[in-house]
Amino acid sequence: MGQRKTNDQEILRLLKEGRNQKEIAQHFGVSPVAIHKRLKRLTPPPEMSNFNSLTQKEKKFCIAVAEGKTQTQAVLQSYDVTSRESAKVMGSQLMAKPEIQMSVTELMDYCGVNKMYRIKRLKDIIDSPDLGIAHKGLDMSFRLDGSFAAEKHLHAVLPIEEMLTRAHRGLFSNDDDNEKELTVSDSAVG
């Protein structure tokens, strides 16, 4: 048997740095399959206490979500549902459970799609020369870190006569006194 091209400690170090299996394979000049097989022997399966406490259908749902399926697709694949709409609601309810969220995270980490890897991929998207793709990446990053301000909506109940009067004044009057009156009146509503 020939000398092994890989080094187990180096593979684990690169993995901890956030490199994926394809990058590690390129580093050693071997196929990604060879790295995958080696990692399978080097890393024991995680304890995944959250995942092991789930029902079979919940486990199937978590695996489908970790594979990249939408919540609705995962429910349709895992549960016996009558409609797509009920699958959508059920997927939302399942993902609201902390044990489901943690199980999906455990599965993704085990498969090498940890947070560091996802952050690096998001950076690649943002750095794309295609501005449409870069814009979507920036949008996603702002949503993930909460940079977008919460939307504010004003809800007020006004009698129809007052609404018509305000609309009439706003459309047909350029008088400064009417504008001041509207401003004061509007602030009193909020």
Of the candidates 100, 35, 118, which has an alpha carbon nearest to the alpha carbon of residue 64?
A: 100
Whole-angstrom distance, CA of residue 135 vs CA of residue 141:
10
pLDDT of res. 169: 75
Lowest model confidence (mean pLDDT) among 92-96, 151-155, 182-186: 182-186
Per-residue pLDDT for 189 more than 70? no
pLDDT of res. 56: 92
The tokens for 80 are 């016996």
Region of 7 (left: φ > 0; alpha: ψ -120 to 50; beta: rest) is: beta
16 vs 182: which has the higher pLDDT:
16
Per-residue pLDDT for 190 more than 70? no
**Coil vs helix vs strand at 124:** helix
pLDDT digits (tens, 9 = 90+) for 99-125: 998 888 888 877 777 777 888 888 899
Per-residue pLDDT for 142 more than 80? yes
Mean pLDDT of the chain: 79
Q: Give the predicted TM-score (pTM) of the model.
A: 0.48
Report residue 77's pLDDT band, with 50, 70 and 90 as the boundaries: very high
- Is 54 within 8 Å of 100 (Cβ atoms)? yes
Show me where the domains of the chain are located. 8-42, 48-111, 114-147
Is the torsion defined by CA of 118, 119, 125, 127 positive or negative? Answer: negative
Report residue 47's pLDDT band, with 50, 70 and 90 as the boundaries: low
3-state secondary structure the chain: CCCCCCCHHHHHHHHHCCCCHHHHHHHHCCCHHHHHHHHHHHCCCCCCHHHHCCCHHHHHHHHHHHCCCCHHHHHHHHCCCCCHHHHHHHHHHHHCCHHHHHHHHHHHHHCCCCHHHHHHHHHHHHCCCCHHHHHHHHHHHHHHHCCCCCCCCCCCCCCHHHHHHHHHHHHHCCCHHHHHHHHHHHHHHC
Lowest model confidence (mean pLDDT) among 28-32, 116-120, 180-184: 180-184
CA angle 122, 124, 125 (to 5 degrees): 65
Percent of the chain with pLDDT over 90: 24
Report residue 37's pLDDT band, with 50, 70 and 90 as the boundaries: confident
pLDDT of res. 154: 66
